[in-house]
Amino acid sequence: MRTAFGSAFDVPDGYLNTASVGIPPVQVADAVAAAVQDWRTGAGRPTDFDVPVALARAAYGRLVGFPAERVAIGSTVSGMLGMVAASLPAGARVLVARGDFTSVTWPFAARSTPVEVELEQVGERARECDVVVVSVVQSADGRIVDLDALRAARASGTRVVLDATQSVGWLDADLGWADVVVATGYKWLLSPRGVAWMAVREDLDLVPNQAGWYAGDDPWTSVYGLPLRLAADARAYDTSPAWYCQAGAAVALPWLAGLDRAAVQAHCVGLADAFRKGLGMEPTGSAIVAVAREGAAERLAAAGVVAAVRAGAARLAFHLYSDDTDVARALNALT
């Protein structure tokens, strides 16, 4: 058992795979277990989850810089971005980063042919297109997009759609200026898989093509019949909540939103950069490190380091529960 930022984590030594699956604080896992126990024993009720949904929604808004009423809930990034893609006017020019995660790019590629450029060119090329769709932090290697350049492009009229899945939870960045900010919860947000959020600006009209009962102004009175009576805010883009996932997110996200975000980033990036230094690599300011060395993944696994292989490299991710012993274990395996 480890303690970090005031919470306990039942995480094994050498776990450096948060970019794939985050390990929850004990209180988050306990909340999910309690909800499942209520389900198992018939004690749970659907309305029990209204408050958890609202708590997680508001906390996500605080994490990315949006008010709660501008946050919609969903289950996957691709599902929520599919709504954005379907709402674009015909002929809209979409810019994406080459090699970005397909849940970010494919919803738009299914509708048109986006312009692909290298990540380092996204900021400077943004003004050439109507919409930029990009991950804040690249899943494969941890590179960070130039947010200042994107913010400037948005001021000149380009819509900016950000996937914050690999950034929110460790990167201290205000994203409230963007048009759309999506993220899934099961990585850096330490929630169960099956819950995602989308913050959307009020002046961006989306077609609620996934609208169901939970998108209603009062979900419990909009379960049957026409006419359409959607919520007046971003809840109109909600899909029905995954109850037990929301039970965990309602504990995880408010806790994360209450932490000193600068201290969180300093901790995660400090460990990642210490690992980089040990390998003779330059610091990048990212909590994700890709090691493109032959046999790296096998050597890490043999040393008890849990990492992933992405784009041909071993990928390590340093989060709240990571510490110096994890850095040392990984370095000993590779040096």
Looking at 215, 232, 257, the residue that finishes a domain is 257
pLDDT digits (tens, 9 = 90+) for 295-306: 999 999 999 999
**Rounded mean pLDDT of 131-135?**
98
Mean pLDDT over residues 185-203, rounded?
98
Provide mean pLDDT across the span 4-30. Answer: 98
pLDDT value, residue 280: 97
**How confident is the model over 21-43, as pLDDT tens digits?**
999 999 999 999 999 999 999 99
Q: How far is CA 101 from the centre of its chain?
A: 12
**Residue 94 has what pLDDT?**
98
Residue 36 is assigned to a structural domain of this protein? no
Domain with residue 236: its CATH number is 3.40.640.10
Identify whether 328 is part of a domain: yes
* CATH code (residue 300): 3.90.1150.10
Asked if residue 270 and residue 135 are part of one domain, the reply reads no
In a domain, 88, yes or no: yes
Q: Assign 130 a pLDDT band (cuts: 50, 70, 90).
A: very high
Percentage of the chain modeled with pLDDT above 70: 100
pLDDT tens track for 230-288: 999 999 999 999 999 999 999 999 999 999 999 999 999 999 999 999 999 999 999 99
Kindly state the tokens that stand for 278: 């040990």
Band the pLDDT of 307: cuts 50, 70, 90. Answer: very high
What's the mean pLDDT when you consider all of the chain? 97
- The whole-number pLDDT of residue 204 equals 95
CB burial of residue 228 (10 Å; 0-12, 13-18, 19+): exposed
The C-alpha atoms of residue 246 and residue 185 are separated, in whole angstroms, by: 10
Choose the final residue of a domain: 210, 233, 257: 257
Q: What's the CA gap between 288 and 214, in Å, rounded?
A: 36
Q: Which of 257, 283, 315 is the C-terminal boundary of a domain? A: 257
pLDDT on residue 176: 98
33 occurs within a structural domain: no
Partners of 17 in the beta sheet?
317
Please say whether the dihedral angle defined by the alpha carbons of residues 282, 284, 285 and 290, taken in this order, is positive or negative: negative
- Note the pLDDT of residue 76: 98
Domain membership of residue 200 as a residue range: 45-257
Average pLDDT over residues 183-205: 97
Same domain, 80 and 137: yes
Q: Establish whether the linkage from the previous residue to 227 is cis, with ω within 30° of 0.
A: yes
User: How many domains in the chain?
Assistant: 2
In this prediction, residue 241 carries a pLDDT of 97
Question: Of 198, 236, 196, nearest to 216 (Cα)?
Answer: 236
In a domain, 39, yes or no: no
- Specify if 34 maps to a domain: no
Q: Which pLDDT band holds residue 323 (cuts at 50, 70, 90)?
A: very high
Asked if residue 281 belongs to a domain, the reply is yes
**Please, which pLDDT band fits residue 201 given cuts at 50, 70 and 90?**
very high
Based on the fold, state whether residues 266 and 330 are members of the same structural domain: yes
